[in-house]
Structure 1
């Protein structure tokens, strides 16, 4: 119980930034976990026949030896589902693994990095662990007899050690410890928290939802606390009928929560008790994270993941897995994903902070609803118009070659959407047009209405490209802007090839021409080439010179 001086400097808050879980009742993520809590869902079920033949073990007579007195338990679903290839485990080894080990491996968090809450880069997190303490009541009258003094000690010492204000102060309105052990837990809480209180201490338990989760009991309660902090809502304890007759709830100033209750404006502290059967004692203090002003994102796409049908900028969502079957599983998980933040922020994290495995899938979407629809189509039929799939067969970084084609691929709306949605693309087009106007005396954007957003009732006809002095500069603008946009996205070519008109853009991209030189070349080229089209003022309708 003594404090190690060498560890004194480590007494700083810990931010909870991620949660993974697999609980009874199909509760396999925080969304389902919170739904079970707030709706008061009981996740205990009848023992399924595929687990064991309950009739061989059940007897309602409590005096029968070697028998069970209940037909209900908490079961994790799909206990045999395990992507062994992802963890580089052979099928034979995976088949012989303890199901608990397989489940634990599936639920683990990839990495933890020590970071003080004041510099947490994510800017938001579930809760803060203020401090914790462990003890033991092995010196009680028997192995299974809890020690009230030991319980009281571990609770009061935790608050004292980490400098948390006394729980008797009503300004903090703390939530009481989780997971009490019969009336002894009530007595220890009374002695620890009741003397200075003038309002009841609110407390609850998660057992009613998931049963006794054994070695995960403390962790399950910690997840409950984290989600209550995130949602600023106290959740009910279900299946409560009446308290132990040895606990005087009023005299001990205890209030068991049986209905959901929103947080008040005060900052909340919640204590967690996890007392083991054989005397292990632990207490942990959680507090609300400080309110951090969210930094406005530098860019956004105007939609978020979920059922939202609001349309915005189309983006590419990269997903991957280690097998074809796992790709479908990933698609199924993401089809139910919801997040209130702008989708571009989520996708940026996916692209830069997640490992990209060999079996890959990219979804093109401009709304949460379209994203879901595309994934559902892919799951049902194995393909979708806006879902791209590929497989990486080599660890070598592929070479990138940019090819700038000649004339003939132009169309009246080319680059128009990119001009509206990509700032880099727009800035390059504007710069090109400004240089072009100085040389030619007229503007592709203003005079020919290319790239810019059409006004109401305005129609830009395809005949605008009959003029070589329009089509060739427009293609060059597009190619240079594309190149700069790809460069901004981190696509660096290993080789550059140009054909005919595309040779001008290729020379610019390779550093052989400046932007001014490239635009001057294309202006002279288009004017001189237009003269070969006969006596037309600005060239003919043919685009044979490419």
Structure 2
């Protein structure tokens, strides 16, 4: 029955346009969010064996490779730590592990994190930031577009001792937030601006599955609209391995032999695995890829048993049965279980017996239940292991195959499986989509007694949206936080367009535009075909508009300078619902007022085109800071500005006399006085950078480099409009890309993620090899400022501020831009407190928090201080006394 209902729901949604679908789903979701299935819409991961993505992880699995190696000397000196005797103090007999390449590497710039903070931060937090970014990108969600959203964070991890890697002298006031496990989830929420629950979970090897279960519950209860769930482990200290060897839980040869008679222990490994979850109905409405449905799950504890850390058959049996009950499934529905499969002889026997008890009954249809064990490939990823198992199951759905387990030859003697449907794969098992829905279970068990089991269902087939009229021209945007990263992005994307079918080009561009972050270095190209976009990317030579650090102010201009050629607006009317609806409202207003007989047809068309274009631009997120008009365009401008409603505007056109002198129209008293000859001065006074023409025109007309027309003579509506959108985007105007594509039923598809520019961050070493910047003493600086001529003070103040910030951020002074916002340089709350205290002490200057949040840079602060000194007696009186921290300092910390 549930499948029939879901199938009917998919068919119903496929028959609606995007607006209708969004409205219906919002209504259904608001009624009963707990009945809405939870969908996995994105995933990201780093795995041993050089598998830095889920795709690379699948290749490792498919090829039957192991990511386990001898412990690298860059991590621990295994020769010094090795001893074959498990009782040797401070030694270990296991020489093996699964390690990540580049665990000391990080790209702080996209996150607004300073080099100093990056070096102090627990590398597990850094890894979570990058993988979270990648997982959101795979979901078609812009990592920088979720600020303020009810996005929950549920991550499993433990303190791996990075604070002990640091020398005692390197511990400071910032150290607590740099390595506490409870801060890791908060770090994600803070950096990305999430407003949902934020929870760090420490349940040993069950942590990431417990996190997934809690995240699904948060979505079902409606407290989160999107959730990040998973875990991370980095092996930074060897002490835990000493203890595991003493208990003889570690494999001696570095091979995990799950469920084999020769199983002799686990192998510790590291990695990160994160999943992005959303309610199914919302995922459909938002165009997210649906990778799997989370049918149900359970999280329990072993309770009182043989020992705290020992698993038990009844406990494992109970968690799997509870999960089946929550999903409304029977054991016979499950085709595949990704097991805990640690490779310990006793632990494997307990898990096999529980699996036999729950899933071992014969099946009338003869189907099998495959028991996977990803730890044979990766080792024990500990706090990330369960989420890695979920990613493996999703990859099996996608590739219609279950990869083989490694190191299995002889069945475990304690539990017989030959009379059950349970099989342990030694070769790839085909798992095609068919009439029977595919279900997979994933199990995790923690040393603390925590257990978790989740059940996944294959994603429903998604049919393409039924769109009768498609936009003929596409916009493809790329961006990065540096010119070098943007060039690398172009090199990655251009070749991909050779393989994109023309019917998929809209989805490809939608993913790039709506599903990726937008940085200050930008490129946008337009075209009708993949080949056109590819050629325009390849013709780019690295020339891009100057980096913009402030939001760009845009104006709308309604003018009559060009007589319309062709039939502007017809193409838009046929393919753009927002434009069509606005145009029809104008037509209805003219008809209702009888103005069709009194207002010339050309003037009616001009008004309707301008009004509809303005509504379209606003729907795309472009809101005018100023609205200007000439001739009949003044009436349109007044209507768009809200000075009159549509009906009043139509009546005004009827009463309008012919004006030839260029003066403002006197009936429109609500608009500020404006003369056409003062256009450039008016725009400069309003700090308007770009003026969008709401009629045909040519770029740069009226002597304004920032003039961009919506329509151009001799070009199709979409060709001109898309070019205008592209140029605005490149110059820093923010476009609502989801609204840009909302009428066309887009879906997120595979698209390259951000090109990281990683560098090594470890301990407190200057990133450029230079010595720390030495600051002049405060008294000396104040005296120097008093002594120099007024025209030289600003340069001196800039140098002084640069030196202070370079030391605080642990970068060379030459790396700091005078015009980049301090918050983008990485200035955090505690650094801000110190900067404010210093400026108060030296110059009597109170630095306002709002000034920093508004994007103040070094040049701005130097100017502010200079003006403060000129307007006060500070130069004569010297610096005021130093005061203790007050409410302003506390305010910064709270921010």
Mark yes or no: TM-score above 0.5.
yes
* Deviation (angstroms), 1:106: 1.2
Q: Contact 2:356/2:417 (CA < 8 Å) preserved in 1?
A: no
Tell me what 2:351 maps to.
185
Distance 1:295 1:210, change over 3 A: same
Classify the secondary structure of the residue corresponding to 1:342.
Answer: helix
* Deviation (angstroms), 1:48: 3.4
The one of 360, 363, 387 aligned to 1:197: 363
Supply the distance in 1 between the matched residues of 2:48 and 2:391 (Cα, whole angstroms): 14
Tell me what 1:77 maps to.
101
Aligned ranges 1:403-482 → 2 under 5 Å: 423-424=571-572
Aligned ranges 1:216-365 → 2 under 5 Å: 216-260=384-428, 261-263=430-432, 265=434, 266-296=436-466, 315-328=474-487, 330-331=489-490, 334=493, 342-352=504-514, 354-363=516-525
* Deviation (angstroms), 1:400: 7.0
* Deviation (angstroms), 1:160: 1.8
Tell me what 2:60 maps to.
36
Tell me what 2:309 maps to.
144
Q: Contact 1:318/1:363 (CA < 8 Å) preserved in 2?
A: yes
CA RMSD for the aligned pairs?
Answer: 4.4
Classify the secondary structure of the residue corresponding to 1:26.
Answer: coil
Supply the distance in 2 between the matched residues of 1:174 and 1:339 (Cα, whole angstroms): 34
Q: Contact 1:228/1:235 (CA < 8 Å) preserved in 2?
A: yes
Supply the distance in 1 between the matched residues of 2:379 and 2:86 (Cα, whole angstroms): 20
Q: Contact 1:300/1:345 (CA < 8 Å) preserved in 2?
A: no
Tell me what 1:96 maps to.
120
Greater relative contact order (Cα 8 A, min sep 6): structure 1 or 2?
Answer: 2
* Deviation (angstroms), 1:211: 1.6
1:395 is the counterpart of 2:557: no
Classify the secondary structure of the residue corresponding to 1:240.
Answer: coil
Tell me what 2:21 maps to.
none
Distance 1:496 1:64, change over 3 A: farther
Tell me what 1:523 maps to.
none
Distance 1:240 1:296, change over 3 A: farther
Q: Contact 1:13/1:131 (CA < 8 Å) preserved in 2?
A: no
Distance 1:392 1:139, change over 3 A: same
Q: What are the ranges of 5 or more consecutive residues in structure 1 without an aligned counterpart?
A: 1-7, 302-312, 378-382, 408-414, 428-480, 498-505, 511-518, 520-546
* Deviation (angstroms), 1:233: 2.5
Classify the secondary structure of the residue corresponding to 2:513.
Answer: helix
Supply the distance in 1 between the matched residues of 2:515 and 2:458 (Cα, whole angstroms): 27
* Deviation (angstroms), 1:283: 0.8
Supply the distance in 1 between the matched residues of 2:51 and 2:397 (Cα, whole angstroms): 19
Classify the secondary structure of the residue corresponding to 2:357.
Answer: helix
Q: Which stretch of structure 1 is more off in the superposition, 124-133 or 317-326?
A: 317-326
Distance 1:402 1:118, change over 3 A: closer
Give per-residue Cα distances to partners, 1:383-425, cap 9 Å, x unaligned: 9349755421322334577999999xxxxxxx9xxx9xx9549
Supply the distance in 2 between the matched residues of 1:366 and 1:70 (Cα, whole angstroms): 59
Classify the secondary structure of the residue corresponding to 2:91.
Answer: coil
Supply the distance in 2 between the matched residues of 1:353 and 1:131 (Cα, whole angstroms): 28
Supply the distance in 2 between the matched residues of 1:298 and 1:391 (Cα, whole angstroms): 39
Tell me what 1:208 maps to.
376
Give per-residue Cα distances to partners, 1:434-475, cap 9 Å, x unaligned: xxxxxxxxxxxxxxxxxxxxxxxxxxxxxxxxxxxxxxxxxx
Q: What are the ranges of 5 or more consecutive residues in structure 2 without an aligned counterpart?
A: 1-31, 137-142, 152-224, 227-277, 342-346, 576-608, 631-692, 698-712, 714-895
TM-score, L = length of structure 2: 0.41
Q: Contact 1:362/1:387 (CA < 8 Å) preserved in 2?
A: no
Distance 1:146 1:157, change over 3 A: same
* Deviation (angstroms), 1:278: 2.5
* Deviation (angstroms), 1:93: 1.2
Q: Contact 1:363/1:371 (CA < 8 Å) preserved in 2?
A: yes
Q: Contact 2:475/2:527 (CA < 8 Å) preserved in 1?
A: yes
Tell me what 2:280 maps to.
117
* Deviation (angstroms), 1:158: 1.7
* Deviation (angstroms), 1:361: 2.6
Q: Which stretch of structure 1 is more off in the superposition, 68-77 or 254-263?
A: 68-77
Q: Contact 1:134/1:280 (CA < 8 Å) preserved in 2?
A: yes
* Deviation (angstroms), 1:55: 2.4
Supply the distance in 2 between the matched residues of 1:373 and 1:214 (Cα, whole angstroms): 47
Distance 1:21 1:188, change over 3 A: same
Supply the distance in 2 between the matched residues of 1:59 and 1:373 (Cα, whole angstroms): 61
Give per-residue Cα distances to partners, 1:164-223, cap 9 Å, x unaligned: 1x213xxx3521242234111100011111135354421101112222111001110111
Supply the distance in 2 between the matched residues of 1:350 and 1:282 (Cα, whole angstroms): 36
Tell me what 2:76 maps to.
52
Distance 1:173 1:392, change over 3 A: same
Q: Contact 2:558/2:694 (CA < 8 Å) preserved in 1?
A: no
Q: Contact 1:59/1:68 (CA < 8 Å) preserved in 2?
A: yes
Q: Which stretch of structure 1 is more off in the superposition, 52-61 or 78-87?
A: 52-61
Distance 1:271 1:336, change over 3 A: farther
Q: Contact 1:45/1:73 (CA < 8 Å) preserved in 2?
A: yes
Q: Contact 1:364/1:386 (CA < 8 Å) preserved in 2?
A: no
Q: Contact 2:338/2:374 (CA < 8 Å) preserved in 1?
A: no
Q: Which stretch of structure 1 is more off in the superposition, 342-351 or 328-337?
A: 328-337
Classify the secondary structure of the residue corresponding to 1:20.
Answer: strand
Distance 1:391 1:9, change over 3 A: closer
